Structure 1
Amino acid sequence: MQSSDPRHFFETDAEQETRSRRAAKASNTYGSPIVLKSKLLAACLDPRAPSSAIFVAESAGCVRRVTLDDPPSTKETYRGPITPVSCVAVSGTTVFAGAWDKIIWSWDLATRAPGLKYAGHADFVKALAVARLRGRDVLISGGADKKILVWDAATGRRLHTMSDAVVNMMSVQDLLVDHHHDGGGEGDDEVVVISASSDPHIRRWRIREDGWEQLVEEDPAVPGAERRTILEHETTVYKLVLGPDGEGEELWSASGDGTAKCMSRLKNFGVEDTFAHGAHVRAVAVGGGWVITAGRDEDLRFWDRTSGELVFVVEGHYDEVTELLVLEGGERLCSVSIDGTVRTWPLQRAALAELVQSQQKVEVQEEETEGSDDKGNLLTLDEEAELAALMEDDE
């Protein structure tokens, strides 16, 4: 008989401590958790209801639509892959999902009927973006094979294969359509996409029907010099956001170096602000006057967007947070995690203050309870060891 229970395998003390801590934390109800049965690897807003519904990519091999209002609903699923789904995007009437099987799957948004499959990557599909180019929908995908592919969404035909031949590009982690670029094209004659990858470089690409190019810009640190990539992080860049609401002059990034950064388009994407979260930062969101960061340490950190001050640290998730989404209207934040929960949070300062205060009270009560339990044992560790030795001698 085979087992997947981690307690039946060798674990280090640190792994046992982490597992015990997460098990104790799993029962909390902060953020009104919607509990699903597998790990949640990515999410995007439902364009039909961007203030109240999202799509999540599950490790169980499906995409699920989750409504966030009371009572929540998780019944609408889009099935097909037998491997984990690592990214999801919606365009018009189609849901797209990239999976570990190297395929991009698609479904009709309303009927959930399977659509085209897009096969071309040689490794996991890690990121998706959708755009309009010369009057048609295009799908842009990034993979662990270090390539970015551009597809005609309607026919499944591959239009372009993009890779960086000068600065080594590693596994693509995120793709973002730049709706506010100054590339000089008219209408939808071109698309500018920003990519993040497992190397610390952020790249910008111009895509046209007849070809593509990697954008080269002036280096803000060396006047008169050019740079092919935006290099402001030390390691993997996991997430890119144009804020707020996908417009504006600021590009936000989240990195495994423990920081989120704000880069200004007006300064050729030089860094304006750095937010030192601490652990790996997997997600960043901007809204309600806040910059919110989250990642491996499970907590959500709320930074005042104007002053850059860390104001609130909010608990709730008990495993790595993989996505943060500001819901339309800017009054709520949604977070998803490997712990299999979807949670929503207020963005109003008073509501956040009340939430953090209640969490702190619970922590104090738990510490007092643990302290009272310990009072029954009046021996120090040295005294316990001495007593154990005496008992062995008696035997």
Structure 2
Amino acid sequence: MTDTFTPASLAPSAAEKFRTRVLPFLAMAAILALIPALGPSRSLLTLFNAIGINIVFALSYNMLLGRAGLLSFGHAVYFGLGGYAAMHVMQAVDDGNGLWAHFPMVALPLVGFAGGLLAAAVIGWPSCKRAGIPFAMISLGIAELIASAGFMFVSLFGGEEGISGDRTYGPLLFGFDLGPIGNVYWFIAFWTLLATVAMFAFTRTPLGKIGEAVRDNPQRVEFVGYDPQRVRYLIFMAAGGFAGLAGGMAAVTYEIFTPESLSLLPSGFVLLMAYVGGIRFFAGPILGAVALTYMQSNLSDFSAAWQLYLGLLFVSIVLFAPAGLAGIFGAIWTGMRSPGAGARLLGWLKVTVAALLAAAGLVIVIEVVTRITDGYGEVFTPFGQPLPPDSALTWGLAAVLLVAGLGLLRLWLPGKREGRR
């Protein structure tokens, strides 16, 4: 006698659903609630606010790239237009104009969502008629067009100075005041968690699932009766809406918006966050936003070449770990639970040591060259050891570390060993 197969037997159990769909958000909420209890400084709270905004921004971008397979070079357009919409409403609230005088500031991200959604609905109609490289080129052209308009239409975008407002005006919702930086953190934490849950729920909808199918095989999707262009358009609108929501969060946090928010720089940065974190994992953009926002905020205090390090990190991820940080952590977790974990961990440790040796040599070269080109006569002094540019020891140490690290990587990387067999 054989067991009868039913589709329901493939469904995850209730415990599995709780572990994968509920527990991560409970953990995220617990972390967000724990941070203020640790007594962070104002600068740390400002960093956490920027991380929350970038988490929503990166997740919205991954709705395009990771879920629908649409590579956009202009996603900051919807972030910026949503932020500008929120800023104009903030000014209306500050002035006490009409119905806006009764609009609570804590709800401004909804205005940003509406602004981003409307912009995506208009721009996405012609853009989503193409996919792949044509779509990417269209997004690039639109990004340049909107960014230029930001400096041309001063009454709408404020020119180079942008437009500003005051988040402390307007009615209070449940007595919540956005004046103190601590309250702004709770505002960001609430909208970050709400937007993250909403975007995860979107991935579980039929539209989210068919978007993944369009990404992988649009011809098959069209064959079974769905219109890939319409699917892309609907996902494009949702992604633009959530990008605008992140823009609304930024408007409340910084109380100013400039045309730079519409430029290619934030569009490139959100691409880095999503891809470095891992576009095939929902948590990937979250990891990428945390890591790159921290690097952007702190690396500039230590090195003038911090943007070069971000670029090198992106290139390294593309070449050696295309699954991103989430893929790396997932592989480590799976490897630790599989047979032969000891040997596998030893292999990973050896590769990590080799990579760190090569990275140390590269850092010495970059920092010494940076100080030479600055012309201020500064000496790179890691861990209290001066490495002057005119010393043979400096260049010899860099060469030894680079050669040793790259040589050991060539020896220990699994792909290299298999290729020689």
* Same-fold call, TM cutoff 0.5: no
Please give the TM-score of this superposition, normalised by the length of structure 2.
0.23
- Which structure is higher in RCO with an 8 Å CA cutoff and minimum separation 6? 2
Say which structure is richer in strand. Answer: 1
